[in-house]
Amino acid sequence: MKWLDCPSSRTATLVLAMTVVAVPSARGQVGQSTSASEDTGDYDTDSERWNGLHTLHAVAKGLGLRVEAISNIDWEDLDSDDILFILYPKGRLDPGHMAAFVRNGGLLFLADDFGDSTEALGRLGMLRDPAMGVGAERFYRELSFVPMARPLLPGHPLAAGVAELATNHPAVLTRVRGPDVVFGFGPGEGIIAAGGLGRGRFVVSSDPSVFINRMLQFEGNLQFAVNALRFLSAGKDNRRLIVLAGNFDMYGEPTGGLDDGTVSGTMSNILSEFNRWLDECNDYLLTTPGMIAVALILAIVVGVLVVLSLPLGRKTLFDGSWTRAYSLAPTLSAGSFEEIVGQHDQKSPRGNYLLPAAVIRDTVNARLSRILGERDPLHSHSEASLLESVDRASGRDAARALDRLLRRIKPLPSRSQAASPWSSGYLSQREFERLERDAGEFFRASDRAIP
């Protein structure tokens, strides 16, 4: 079946001779798995077939670039003037070497949908997922495998003059951290991202077929290819555009930053290498399974540390008996509180007697309730009213003893407040002994008023 017309504002209709009802991918006709076909001429810069790069080659030459399509290269042979154009790498692309090349001033275009660039993409600050039902606003001729990507940053140089990009069975860029997502579909579905690393910069496409001859017949795709080459070359003529596609070999290691022989250049190199080392300590973005695995490992480590920090046995029994109310005898003496204070006396000048003092306070409040027949008189009465009521009920001696005692127990918390883990109050042993003495005098003086 012969068809299809590509939309263009400059030309009425471009008729493309195709044998299926879709735009072809670079590894076979659309509708087939993009990794299944092994058609010859894939990404061949000299090929004028639908899956070649002859048009891209011509565009690059027109921009003053020297195109070199090769199958192997030593990293040391690359310098900061070179543009490394990588499409659909079938072998592992070393993320550390790639990052070092860019950081030293190199220029990189990485276009890959289902090749072996996962680690390299992670090093550039993004992950890649298959495009399953992308949220594109438009599909070419309603074909689900030809979503049209829209500019997400219209003011970016890569988007200049591009209304939309035609893609073909693309992957999508997700969790992009740092680079700009210039083209995409729905939220979290990037197709083109660009950014910088050290002194260099890079562009990433999750669909390499954007650049094949047939796809460059879409006006937006062609304009984007021009923009991308201009963006990376920065208007400098005679740069090398090194094209590596499919099966290729990269060996050796990238050279460091250029040293001009001056002290400034040497120091710049040293700092650049140190920065590279720091940067590579955080080389990759974790995938979801990776993050789950790290979380489980951390949880196990924390659990082991908690278990090891727990004591094997408790030396003293904490049964809460010290929080029970004690009935004070009519003649309150120091011996009456030995059992209360025993477990909490730290036997040091800084021992905290707040809790036993709070027990005394609550016991005095209970005694006042019995005398006055009211609940919680320490809170329901003013100090003057409380003293007057005790004077009437128990006599002047009890009121005088209470007057001295109130100055000590009014600032104290209740027993439950003093026993709480977040209590920060403090009472010295000397203050506690004075409180105990005054409480004893009050109990003795008020004893006759107890029914």
- How confident is the model over 181-224, as pLDDT tens digits? 999 998 889 999 999 988 899 999 999 999 999 999 999 999 99
The reply to whether 294 and 383 lie within a common domain is no
Determine the Cα–Cα distance for residues 348 and 337; give it in Å rounded to an integer.
18
Burial of 175 (0-12, 13-18, 19+ CB in 10 A): middle
The reply to whether 161 and 296 lie within a common domain is no
The reply to whether 31 and 179 lie within a common domain is yes
Average pLDDT over residues 272-282: 55
Q: Classify the C-alpha dihedral 303-307-310-313 as positive or negative.
A: positive
The reply to whether 225 and 265 lie within a common domain is no
Q: What is the pLDDT of residue 201?
A: 92
The reply to whether 61 and 162 lie within a common domain is yes
> For residue 309, what are the CA distances in angstroms to 297, 302, 303, 312, 314?
18, 11, 10, 9, 13
Higher pLDDT, 332 or 406: 406
- Residue 24 is assigned to a structural domain of this protein: yes
Q: What is the pLDDT of residue 195?
A: 93
Q: Are 53 and 47 in contact (CB under 8 A)?
A: yes
Q: Are 447 and 332 in contact (CB under 8 A)?
A: no
**pLDDT band at 281, cuts 50/70/90?**
low
Average pLDDT over residues 357-366: 86
The reply to whether 291 and 351 lie within a common domain is no
Residue 40 has pLDDT above 90, yes or no: no
The reply to whether 18 and 131 lie within a common domain is yes
Residue 88 has pLDDT above 80, yes or no: yes
Determine the Cα–Cα distance for residues 213 and 168; give it in Å rounded to an integer.
13
Average pLDDT over residues 74-95: 91
- Residue 413 is assigned to a structural domain of this protein: yes
Residue 23 has pLDDT above 80, yes or no: no
Tell me the residue range of the domain where 301 lies: 259-307
Copy the structure tokens of residue 82. Answer: 């070179």
- Residue 312 is assigned to a structural domain of this protein: no
Tell how far CA 183 is from the center of its chain: 24
Burial of 411 (0-12, 13-18, 19+ CB in 10 A): exposed
Burial of 309 (0-12, 13-18, 19+ CB in 10 A): exposed
Q: Work out how many domains the chain is built from and give that number.
A: 3
The reply to whether 205 and 289 lie within a common domain is no
Q: What is the pLDDT of residue 330?
A: 40
Q: What is the pLDDT of residue 269?
A: 57
Q: What is the pLDDT of residue 344?
A: 52
**pLDDT band at 256, cuts 50/70/90?**
low
The reply to whether 86 and 182 lie within a common domain is yes
- Residue 194 is assigned to a structural domain of this protein: yes
Q: How many residues make up the chain in this entry? A: 451
Q: What is the pLDDT of residue 143?
A: 86
- Residue 402 is assigned to a structural domain of this protein: yes
Average pLDDT over residues 433-445: 87
- Residue 316 is assigned to a structural domain of this protein: no
Residue 227 has pLDDT above 90, yes or no: yes
Copy the structure tokens of residue 360. Answer: 């005394």
The reply to whether 265 and 243 lie within a common domain is no
Tell how far CA 340 is from the center of its chain: 52
- Residue 315 is assigned to a structural domain of this protein: no
The reply to whether 69 and 158 lie within a common domain is yes
Q: What is the pLDDT of residue 430?
A: 83
The reply to whether 271 and 416 lie within a common domain is no
Determine the Cα–Cα distance for residues 67 and 238; give it in Å rounded to an integer.
10
Determine the Cα–Cα distance for residues 241 and 216; give it in Å rounded to an integer.
18
Give the domain-ending residue among 244, 278, 307: 307
The model's pTM? 0.53
- Looking at residue 177, which CATH number applies to its domain? 3.40.50.880
Residue type for position 51:
N
